[in-house]
Amino acid sequence: MLSREQRTPLSEWWWTVDRLQLAAIIALMLAGIILSLAASPPVATRIGLDPFHFFNRHVLFLVPSLIVMIGVSFLSPRSIRRSALIIFAISIVLIVVTLLVGPEVKGARRWITIVGVNIQASEIAKPSFVVLAAWLFAESTGRPEMPATSIAIVLLLMLVSLLVMEPDFGQTMLILMVWGSLFFIAGMRMIWVAGLAGAASAGLFGAYLLVPHVAARIKHFMNPASGDTFQVDTAMEAFYNGGWFGLGPGEGIAKRSLPDSHTDFVFAVGAEEFGIVLCLVLLALFAFIVIRALSRAYASEDMFARFAASGLAVLFGVQAAINMSVNLQLIPAKGMTLPFISYGGSSMVSLAYGVGMMLALTRIRPRTEMQSIGDAATANAAHKYA
């Protein structure tokens, strides 16, 4: 048992980190192990791999993810800003390299192999971009003369342009929604928020007109009889089959035919085998993590910590909501993982990095540590306009 009187980095971390939030995240990771064991063997068998290939890799990915999450949660806000800047720069370079030399899969270039490891650079870019945008919005509140908002818009346009070139419209919409939420949280004028929403709607309409697979997904969603809706129909059948308490572990039917049962539709597999009760438990865990982070962020007096933690919580929650909504046929199908539940190394490590920063930013810190930079910026601004 760690004592409050011990002044070690570990004891200070333990008594200042949000342990309830940490427990909820670890609970999601454990649920991901169980659902991976339930959903992945049939997929591996169909493509000629060892039945536990994806399960073993899922557990293997959890090890660095847990290390990243805990390690990042020790960082100070200053270190978080610096690490986000470095990782965002690296991820942009990797996205460009992916566009140039990455293999084309189903008409898109999203993956690049480095030292035998497949990396989706857009996943790495998301949490670091959110932190940088929050940093810029926080700077704009303390130093109005700094063109921080303009720089944030430039970063947004740069990242979105690269994602559209892949193309990856699911990630693009996620980034736009999170950036718009940050923009709103930062107290920007509503006319700018409305303009962003209009631009996003225009972009979606343009993608519908110009990109065949986007148009096909929207048409299939609006009119299921217009094309192949096998995956989403099978996912809905899984919910009906499972009922409240499920068919039992290993008794699922949908996973035998769902090509993406271990990634995009693992939520449906869980519903069929463990019932809607499990889905509600997972939903409660996601909601608790997001609401807990937002409440802790709101209580912070440091603008950067408040904006960054809020943005990371929104990123985490919206990604989970998109995946679950696709499984329930509430929105058109998108290739979006369910945080810590779906199979995917890049996604899992990226999510661990994001929630690690969220845990770090919502730690209980002395006001002097959190406010030193913000107070200095405010003092400089007040001196200038005095």
Structure confidence by residue, pLDDT tens digits, 285-321: 999 999 999 999 998 888 999 999 999 999 999 999 9
Predicted pLDDT of residue 366? 63
- Per-position DSSP letters for 225-237, written without gaps between them: GGS--HHHHHHHH
Predicted pLDDT of residue 288? 97
Predicted pLDDT of residue 378? 44
CA 143 to chain centre: 30
Predicted pLDDT of residue 30? 96
Q: Please identify every stretch of the chain with a pLDDT value under 70, giving residue numbers as ranges.
A: 1-6, 188-190, 192-193, 200, 204, 207-228, 366-386
CA dist 155 to 96, 175, 206, 252, Å? Answer: 15, 11, 21, 44
Predicted pLDDT of residue 173? 86
Predicted pLDDT of residue 101? 87
DSSP 305: H
Predicted pLDDT of residue 217? 67
For residues 293 and 309, is the Cβ–Cβ distance under 8 A? yes
Q: Which two tokens stand for residue 120?
A: 């989706």
Dist CA 264 CA 279 (whole Å): 15
Predicted pLDDT of residue 139? 87
Residues of the chain above pLDDT 90, percent: 45
Predicted pLDDT of residue 382? 42
Predicted pLDDT of residue 190? 67
Predicted pLDDT of residue 224? 63
